[in-house]
Amino acid sequence: MADTPLETLLRRDRVIVAFSLLALTGITWLYILWLAVGMDSMAVIPASGDGMSTGMAMDMDMTADAMAPMGDTTLRPWRASTFAYAFVMWAVMMIGMMTPSAAPMILLYARVGRQAARDNKPFAATGFFAGGYLSAWTLFAALATSGQWLLEEALLLTPMLASASRGLSAVILISVGLFQWTPLKDACLRQCQAPFLFIQNHGGFRRDAGGACRLGLLHGLYCVGCCWALMALLFIGGVMNVLWIAAIAIFVLAEKIVPGGRLLSRIAGALIVMAGLWQLAAMT
């Protein structure tokens, strides 16, 4: 007997979910690259009136408004639109960086969901769980935006959104390195490293959309608890430094999927503390 369209779709659901995650990651990274290129072009643009046409000058003013959250606030004070631009930047960046590391959990949800549907005990679609997870990082993006605003108000960031102070760099590096050795880091990382154990420890999969979303949000909050300090390193290498962003994203993924990820975390923590101490020594 030929398979029904539903049965065919159920067999392909993991492929669909995997493709969706890949597409989401790709779109967010394209946006990050667009922002980075915009910042580079702003750095080499001549002053208005130096041979530019009126249309070019208008385009540059619009670009400057769009890039205002990224280092231009010494000339353009933060407004509601500035915060909104910066928030979108951080939210997209967090989704792009964290979706790959969340993929094992989301694909596990899709796989078990397919089996549950075959047993006529379906639970909420994978999208609700993934949406809850990404909501946690969207909340973090709001906090990161507030942190950027405070640092810029204190004139502690360069136009590329990197630390302009050795003292600030030292504080960030030492704090991040020490956090890598804390029990909180251990507890949150364990939840991220074992997706199925996380599901078992928190009541199993949910059949209702709200429950699935809350479960995803909880997993996302554990992930934020594990990785929030590493995101502060963006202010060391530059928030719009694409290679730096990629390096942190790869390390976050490695912590979760590489055997011995806890040892990797501690070694990195020690090296980061050493980098912070070097920054302090350079101040003397």
Q: Each residue of 110-124: pLDDT tens digit?
A: 777 777 767 677 777
Is residue 201 within 8 A of residue 108, CB to CB? The reply is: no
pLDDT score of 135 more than 50: yes
pLDDT band of residue 14 (cuts 50, 70, 90) is: low
For 241, phi then psi, to 5°, come to: -85, 105
Rg (CA), the chain: 22
Kindly report the number of other CB atoms within 10 A of residue 52's CB atom. Answer: 15
Please answer whether residues 224 and 141 qualify as being in contact, where contact means their C-beta atoms are separated by less than 8 angstroms.
Answer: no
Which spans in 73-125 are helix H? 80-118
Locus of tokens 């991220």 = 192
Structure tokens at 206: 């949910």
Which amino acid makes up residue 100? P
Position 249: which residue type?
A: A
SS3 (DSSP) at 201 = helix
- Per residue in 142-186, pLDDT (tens digit) is 999 999 999 998 999 887 788 999 999 999 999 999 999 999 999
pLDDT score, position 61: 43
| Residue 245 amino acid letter | I
Tokens 């101490």 belong to residue: 277
In whole angstroms, give the CA distance from residue 99 to residue 107: 11
What does the block give as tokens for 98? Answer: 């964290």
Tell me how far apart the alpha carbons of residues 165 and 68 are, in angstroms, rounded to a whole number.
Answer: 21
Contact between 124 and 209 under an 8 Å Cβ cutoff? The reply is: yes
Share of the chain above pLDDT 90, in %: 35
What is the average pLDDT score of the chain? Answer: 79
